[in-house]
Each structure stands twice: as structure tokens, then as C-alpha cells.
Amino acid sequence: MEIIEYDEELSGMVDKRVQLDVSSKYEVEIRASQIVVIEYISNKLTNANPIDINDLLFLYSKKVKDIAKPYHLCRNTNY
């Protein structure tokens, strides 16, 4: 959806499906960016729950997985 733009190094890692380490600089940066974006969207919409926005974006990404760029990989329980 091109909501978040990664730098060249991180973009290459995500595109190559490299698993990020839990709590690594990049993994934390991605998590924090997602929170900022979801809060921004929530503040622009009336009666929009950030959790619902997060779920909507996640489910949408599953529907368009064949045409969308890959998402980052990281095994953890922080989401």
C-alpha cells in the first residue's frame, strides 16, 4: 500500500524475505512506524479504533499478497 517507505538496505532484506531478529533496530523501527501510521489514520477518521485499523490493514495485505510487495519476517510475540 506504500504507506511506509523503507531505506534501501531494509527494503532489500524484506524483498529477499530475510528474517529480522527480534528487537533488532529494523524490527523495532518497523513496529514503531506501524503504530504511528495507524494512530495517524485513526485520528483522521471519526470513531475509528486503532486496533480495527490494524486488523483491516493486516487482512487487506493477505488479500493482495500475490500483487503486493512482501512484508517483513520476524518471529516474535510483539504484535
The neighbouring-strand residues paired with 73 are: 19
This prediction has a pTM of 0.73
53 lies in some domain: yes
Looking up cell 524490527, which residue turns up?
Answer: 27
Convert the pLDDT of each residue in 31-50 to its tens digit: 899 999 999 999 999 889 99
Q: CA 74 to CA 21: how far, in whole Å?
A: 6
Q: Which domain holds residue 36?
A: 8-63
Residue 77 lies in a domain: no
Note whether residue 27 is domain-resident.
yes
* Residues of the chain with confidence (pLDDT) below 70: 67-73, 76, 78-79
Contact criterion met (CB below 8 Å) for 4 and 37: yes
CA 26, CA 29: separation in Å to the nearest integer?
5
Give me the residues paired with residue 19 across strands.
73
Does the residue 42 lie in any domain?
yes
To which residue does cell 506501524 refer? 34
